[in-house]
Amino acid sequence: MSSNNLRILVIGVGSIGERHLRCFQATGRCDVAFCETMDKRRTQVAGLYGVVGHASLEEALDLPRWDAAVIATPANTHIPIAMSLAGRGLHLLIEKPLSVGIEGVEQFNALVTAKGIQVAIGYTLRSMPPLRDLRAAILSERFGKPLQLTVVSGQHFPLYRPAYQAIYYADRARGGGAIQDCVTHHLNAAEWLVGPVDRLVADAAHLALAGVDVEDTVNILTRHGDVLGSFSVNQHQPPNETTFTVICQRGAARWETAANRWLSCSEPGANWTVEKTYQAERDDYYINQAHSFLNQIGGEGEPVCSLAEGIQTLKVNLATLKSVDSRGWETIA
């Protein structure tokens, strides 16, 4: 199958679905349409992007014309929708997290294998060039074996997602809260850098966000085999910044999102050296992800985040939630 002129259906055009629609359209390599049950929203998005908006998934699927779909609905609906679409032979880009529970995931994985479906999970940090370059340096063993990973992140969530109180975020059962909506990105990226989490202990609380009672502040200690990890994340501090620091046997590497750069240090007592600073807008990362998915469908590349990796991170999400409740270490099976 050619990776150009594919027919992509975006399911759900909330803020993230609209971004996917816009960024797939920006590739110039596919025809895009969408389905959205909310009449006002459907009319608005269709007019803004000059594309067809269907009132329901059933209506869209009455047209036997789709090559692939982007599932951008609340996380609790991902697996049922994905099962239906995979059964029709559509390739799938599924927004993170893959689900809010493990139910149906094994059956979906088996169906994907049986049908030869291409699947990617929308963990967009993997499409960001600074993180990709930092990872390449680590994998090259330039700094030696990784020993420790530290992630510190925070932003003023109401500024960036003012509707958070009225959407899925307010409900853990739909994928809400800082663990499933935010920290899952960091956990997935960390697993990409230093390997899968095999056990963890977590603490979380609702401290600041108005109008919700889900957690907005999270601390996690992780083990990735021999590598120790730590994550400190909140959704209420004024500055929007994230740092990933990987300490290795012969040096260290750091990604700073606020400055959009990665750095290194190899001499004891020395300062950080800027390896590279990047110029990009947020849409650029989603356009990168869209290109990667189209390449994957065409047999021209690997998924940015595979289904197997998405299932692994789902298990880590669930273990994190369980640890918060149990107040103890949890093992990822």
Residues 271-284 have pLDDT tens digits of 999 999 999 899 99
**What distance in Å separates the CA atoms of residue 288 and residue 231, rounded to the nearest whole number?**
26
- Say what percent of the chain tops pLDDT 70: 99
2 pLDDT band (50/70/90 cuts)?
low
Q: How far is CA 71 from the centre of its chain?
A: 12
Structural contact between residues 179 and 218, judged by C-beta atoms closer than 8 angstroms: yes
Burial of 241 (0-12, 13-18, 19+ CB in 10 A): middle
Q: Which residues belong to CATH 3.30.360.10 in the chain?
A: 126-279+313-331
Residues 3-16 have pLDDT tens digits of 678 999 999 999 99
**What distance in Å separates the CA atoms of residue 120 and residue 116, rounded to the nearest whole number?**
13
**What distance in Å separates the CA atoms of residue 99 and residue 273, rounded to the nearest whole number?**
40
Q: Which residues belong to CATH 3.40.50.720 in the chain?
A: 6-125+287-305
pLDDT for the residue 3: 63
pLDDT for the residue 65: 83
**What distance in Å separates the CA atoms of residue 112 and residue 318, rounded to the nearest whole number?**
23
- Say what percent of the chain tops pLDDT 90: 96
Residues 251-301 have pLDDT tens digits of 999 999 999 999 999 999 999 999 999 998 999 999 999 999 999 999 999
Range 168-195 average pLDDT: 98
Residues 133-162 have pLDDT tens digits of 999 999 999 999 999 999 999 999 999 999
Number of H helices, E strands in the chain: 11, 15
> Taking the model in full, what pTM does it have?
0.96
Would you mind telling me the total number of residues written for the chain in this entry? 333
Average pLDDT, the chain: 96
What's domain 126-279+313-331's superfamily in CATH?
Dihydrodipicolinate Reductase; domain 2 (3.30.360.10)
Range 70-86 average pLDDT: 98
Residues 89-101 have pLDDT tens digits of 999 999 999 999 9
**What distance in Å separates the CA atoms of residue 213 and residue 288, rounded to the nearest whole number?**
35
**What distance in Å separates the CA atoms of residue 329 and residue 134, rounded to the nearest whole number?**
30
pLDDT for the residue 237: 98
**What distance in Å separates the CA atoms of residue 228 and residue 206, rounded to the nearest whole number?**
26
pLDDT for the residue 250: 97
Report the top-level CATH class of 6-125+287-305.
Answer: alpha beta
